[in-house]
């Protein structure tokens, strides 16, 4: 398996450029909060010879593959099996309380999408698993078998922003009364049958439902909501964070957290901003950056990416 062929890191050069000023020194430490198959980390280790990386991932298969890929950098990488909201404990386990850079490349990984039996891709028939950590937790099939119509509608609306959430929830409850929904192909058939003919040309009917199930199975938004403040607290003055999001729910959460961190806390009307009210972070990019047209043409998984970044200006009071 040639990892360089099957896994192309998204916006790699831009990530290196943004993180570089915080990492270009002996003894610098980066947390790759979503190590995956190690593409971003490999490039950063190559570019910055004095860098050590703490690589986190909840997927044991990804950690194993990354360890093989990063074998040439033995001694400069610490692998931690954890969800990214365990970032503070992971850093503490290495004897540190601060790191110089943090990278989050969110969403489902190339490994998970490409392994059909994981059940992430609606284009491939497979068991409805969708767990990023296959050693624990509830599967998508479990959710489809046990959630009531109201709860199914809720997650489709909230995590998939699906306008037909109620219609799809009713169809699933009716279909499971006849036979279990334990494979992605059967779920796709149910969703297609429940989609009005006039809407069938407006994108694949399974896309948003599969996204919603994946987020629910893995608790992704809750983990991200906990991880971001913990990550910001780990950065010293001059430390930098880069976050790549692939769907609007993630990006809105990232945008809000970084906006709060980079805003003044001075009361309205105060004639002079006191030092303790000054912003703790500054944004490194205007809005959210997207991949270039060339990269999107070369790597379709770069099409939805939204990149945001920030640098710490002062410590918390």
Residue ranges of the binding site for S-adenosyl-L-methionine: 38-40, 57, 84, 105, 112
- Give the containing element (helix H, strand E) for 310: strand 306-312
Cα–Cα distance measured from residue 161 to residue 126, given in angstroms and rounded to the nearest whole number: 24
Structure tokens at 116: 């059909």
Query: Rounded to an integer, what distance in angstroms lies between the CA atom of residue 134 and that of residue 124?
Result: 19
Question: Are 112 and 59 contacting, i.e. CB atoms less than 8 angstroms apart?
Answer: yes
Distance CA 99, CA 14 (A): 20
Residues found in the chain: 317
Question: What is the spatial distance between Cα 206 and Cα 211, in angstroms, rounded to a whole number?
Answer: 8
DSSP secondary-structure letter at 278? Answer: S
> Residues within the annotated binding site?
38-40, 57, 84, 105, 112
Question: How does strand 52-57 pair with strand 29-32?
Answer: parallel
Q: Is residue 102 classed as helix, strand or coil in its secondary structure?
A: strand
Tokens for 302, please give them.
């770069």
**Is there a contact between 52 and 29 (Cβ–Cβ < 8 Å)?**
yes
Q: In the numeric block, which tokens belong to residue 113? A: 């999408």
Specify whether the CB–CB gap between 213 and 151 falls below 8 A.
no
**What is the distance between the alpha carbons of residues 218 and 180, in angstroms, rounded to a whole number?**
22
**DSSP 8-state secondary structure symbol assigned to residue 242:** E
How far apart (Å, rounded) are the C-alpha atoms in residues 63 and 69? 10
């Amino acid at each position: 398996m040639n990892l360089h062929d099957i896994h192309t890191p998204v916006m790699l050069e831009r990530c290196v450029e943004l993180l570089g000023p915080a990492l270009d020194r002996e003894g610098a430490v980066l947390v790759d909060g979503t190590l995956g198959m190690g593409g971003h980390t490999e490039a950063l280790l190559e570019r910055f010879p004095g860098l050590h990386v703490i690589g986190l991932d909840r997927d044991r298969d990804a950690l194993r593959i990354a360890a093989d890929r990063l074998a040439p950098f033995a001694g400069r990488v610490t692998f931690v099996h954890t969800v990214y909201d365990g970032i503070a404990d992971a850093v503490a386990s290495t004897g540190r309380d601060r790191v110089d850079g943090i990278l989050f490349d969110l969403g489902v990984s190339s490994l998970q999408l490409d392994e059909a039996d994981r059940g992430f891709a609606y284009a491939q028939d497979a068991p409805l698993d969708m767990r990023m950590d296959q050693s624990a937790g509830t599967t998508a099939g479990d959710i489809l078998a046990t959630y009531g119509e109201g709860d199914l509608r809720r997650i489709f609306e909230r995590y998939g922003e699906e306008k037909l959430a109620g219609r799809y929830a009713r169809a699933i409850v009716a279909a499971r009364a006849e036979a279990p929904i334990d494979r992605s192909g059967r779920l796709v058939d149910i969703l297609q049958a429940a989609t009005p003919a006039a809407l069938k040309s407006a994108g694949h009917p399974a896309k948003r439902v599969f996204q919603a199930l994946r987020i629910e199975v893995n608790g992704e938004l809750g983990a991200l909501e906990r991880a971001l403040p913990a990550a910001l607290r780990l950065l010293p003055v001059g430390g930098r964070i880069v976050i790549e999001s692939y769907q609007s729910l993630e990006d809105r959460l990232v945008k809000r957290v970084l906006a709060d961190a980079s805003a003044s806390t001075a009361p309205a009307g105060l004639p002079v901003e006191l030092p303790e009210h000054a912003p703790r972070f500054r944004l490194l990019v205007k809005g959210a950056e997207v991949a270039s047209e060339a990269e999107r043409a070369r790597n379709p998984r770069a099409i939805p990416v939204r990149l945001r970044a920030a640098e710490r200006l002062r410590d918390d009071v």
